[in-house]
Amino acid sequence: MDVSSSVWIGLVTTIAVLIALDFVMVSRKPHDVLFKEAMLWSIFYIGVAVVFGAWVWKSYGSQFGTEYFAAYLVEKSLSIDNLFIFVIILTQFAVPSILHQRVLLIGVILALAFRAVFIAIGAAALHAFAFTFVIFGLILVWTGVSLYRHRDKEPHPEDNAVIRLVRRLMPITSGYHESKVFIRREGKRYGTPMLLVIIAIASTDLLFALDSIPATYGVTSEPLLVFAANAFALLGLRALYFLLKGLLDKLVYLSIGLAAILVFIGFKLMAIYFHEVNSSIPKIPTSTSLLVIVAILGIATLASVHENRKSAQSESNV
């Protein structure tokens, strides 16, 4: 895929404009986001991602177009799992609802920064060492198995070692002071709970970047497509949170579905390396990967719907 510098400049400029637009919307008037507003913004960001994918398809062919949409679907799926953690962080730190947008926007920007670094490192590693495919594959398989084993355990942000260290090094106020991270009282500097929230969000973003970048490289090795899929999936994360926050606890089998996707892509990555070593070992086509990912997500969603209906019937019979 021959990508000119102008394409990279255009993509980065578009993302920067969208982030600036988000900043304007969030900073102008903090407010509780209603379902209609969240739905319109979700449609907008999905539309931007689809338009970019259509451009890739037209400019570079169906192979790269399919790779992009598969990568975007993987990242969008993983972003939903990311939302589970965001909900827990916002709840456990009792973040006022009007500040949720700002916290999520900070999380998106940090996630973009972390992933840009890991994308560059991953591209260089894959170019220099073919065995990186196996390393990435093993990381994803291990992550998928761990996600399945701990699917019923709720993380506790307060257990974060960095947060515990900050609490020891700096006094933290008991309440929020709008969106301020630090305040001064009687000449002494205090951190606010917003500081702890940002640290928790940043830690989460870092961990998810370690998982999501190998997952994206599992369906495409083109850095432009990896970056675009990550960026467009993340940009819609804030709107998706407000759209789905009432439904997240109902997707009871989503973690199992995501675990299966990570394990599948992990084996796909390892197959790429072993195919180069022995051509008799088949590679998994991108079109097949896309179908498998869609099928797993569909089964997980339908199973969740069925489980919720069964639980509702059981409760009504009591």
Cα 4 to chain centroid distance, Å, stands at 27
Q: Reduce the DSSP state of residue 52 to 3 states and report it.
A: helix
What length does the chain have? 318
Question: Using the 8-state DSSP alphabet, how is residue 182 labeled?
Answer: E
Q: Which long-range contacts (CB under 8 A, 24 or more apart) does 56-61 make?
A: 56/225, 56/228, 60/1
The conformation of residue 151, written as its DSSP 8-state character, comes to: T
pLDDT computed for residue 155 by the predictor? 60
pLDDT at 92 (0 to 100): 74
DSSP 8-state code for residue 282: P
Element (H, E) at 184: strand 182-185
Cβ atoms of residues 172 and 129 within 8 Å: no
- pLDDT at 124 (0 to 100): 77
Q: What is the pLDDT of residue 209?
A: 75
Q: Which has the closest alpha carbon to 297: 249, 246, 262?
A: 262
pTM for this entry: 0.73
**Cα separation, 41 vs 26, whole angstroms:** 13
Bridge partners of 120? none
Confirm if 132 and 125 have CB atoms less than 8 A apart: yes
Q: What is the pLDDT along the chain (318 residues), one digit of tens a residue?
A: 778 889 999 999 999 998 888 777 766 666 667 778 888 888 899 999 999 999 999 999 999 999 999 889 888 877 776 776 777 777 778 888 788 888 888 888 888 888 888 888 877 777 777 777 788 778 778 878 877 887 666 666 666 677 788 888 888 888 888 778 888 887 888 888 888 888 888 877 777 777 677 778 878 888 899 999 989 988 888 778 777 766 666 777 877 887 888 788 888 878 877 877 787 888 777 778 778 878 888 898 888 888 878 877 776 665
Angle at which helix 62-92 crosses helix 223-235, to 10 degrees, equals 40
For residue 142, count other CB atoms closer than 10 A to its CB.
14
SS3 12: helix
- Indicate the SS3 state at residue 63: helix
pLDDT per residue as tens digits for the range 228-250: 998 998 888 877 877 776 666 67
- CB-CB neighbours of 164 under 10 Å: 11
| Cβ neighbours for 310, distance < 8 A, ≥ 6 positions apart | none
- Distance from first CA to last CA of the chain, Å, rounded? 61
pLDDT of 248: 62
Per-residue pLDDT of 82-121, as tens digits, reads 776 777 777 778 888 788 888 888 888 888 888 888 888 8
User: What residue has token string 């009007």?
Assistant: 98
State the Cα–Cα distance between residues 188 and 143, nearest whole angstrom: 43
